Amino acid sequence: MKSKITIVSQFCILPLMVAALSLAGVALAQDVPATKSSSLSVKDKTFMKKAAKGGMMEVAMGNLAAQNGQSDDVKSFGKRMVSDHSKANDELKSIASQKGVTLPGKEPTLKWNSDKAYVTMMVKDHEKDLAEFQEEAKTGSDPEVKKFAEDTAKVVQEHLDLAKETQSKLQ
C-alpha cells in the first residue's frame, strides 16, 4: 500500500512541479516591460539625455538670438537653431518614449550677452556636439539611436559651418 501511495504521489508531484515552473516562466516573461529599453546600453542612454539637454539649450538660445540679436545673420541663425533643434528634440523624445528612457524636461534659463558671445559659444558647442554625435553613430549599441545620431550629425555639421560663417561676418 505504501508503495502505491509513493508511486501515485511521485506521478502527481512531478507534473505539478513542471506546471509550477512553467507558470513561473510565464510570470517572469510578463514582468519584462513592453519597451525596448533592454537594448539600450548605459552609453546610449547617457547620449540621449545629453542630446536632449543640449537640444533644449539650443532652442532656448536660438529664441534669444532671434529676439535680441543685433545682426540679421545672428537672428537668422537663431531661428534656424530653433527650427532644426525642435525637430531633432521631437524625434529624440519619440525614440526615448519607445525605449522607456526619461529625458530631462526642464528648459534652461539663459541670458543674452551679445551676438559675438552667442556665435562663439555656438561654434564651440557645435564642435563638441558633432564629435559626440559622430561617436554615438559609430559606437552606439541601439540601431535607432545610432541612426538618429548619424542623421543629426549631418545637421550639426551644417550648423557648425553656418556658425563659423556667421562668426566671420561679425569680426
Residue-wise pLDDT tens digits, 13-52? 544 444 444 544 444 444 334 444 456 999 999 999 999 9
Mean pLDDT across the stretch 136-153?
96
pLDDT band at 107 (very low <50, low <70, confident <90, very high): confident
Q: Taking the CA of residue 126 as centre, how many other CA atoms within 13 Å lie in the half-sphere pointing to its CB?
A: 24
Q: Distance (Å, rounded) from C-alpha 20 to C-alpha 45?
A: 37
- What confidence score (pLDDT) does residue 7 get? 52
Give me 148's grid cell. Answer: 538618429
- What confidence score (pLDDT) does residue 84 get? 97
pLDDT band at 97 (very low <50, low <70, confident <90, very high): very high
Global pTM reads 0.75
Q: Which of 33, 12, 36, 16 is nearest to 24 (CA)?
A: 16
* 62 has a pLDDT exceeding 70: yes
Mean pLDDT across the stretch 110-137?
96
- What confidence score (pLDDT) does residue 171 get? 75
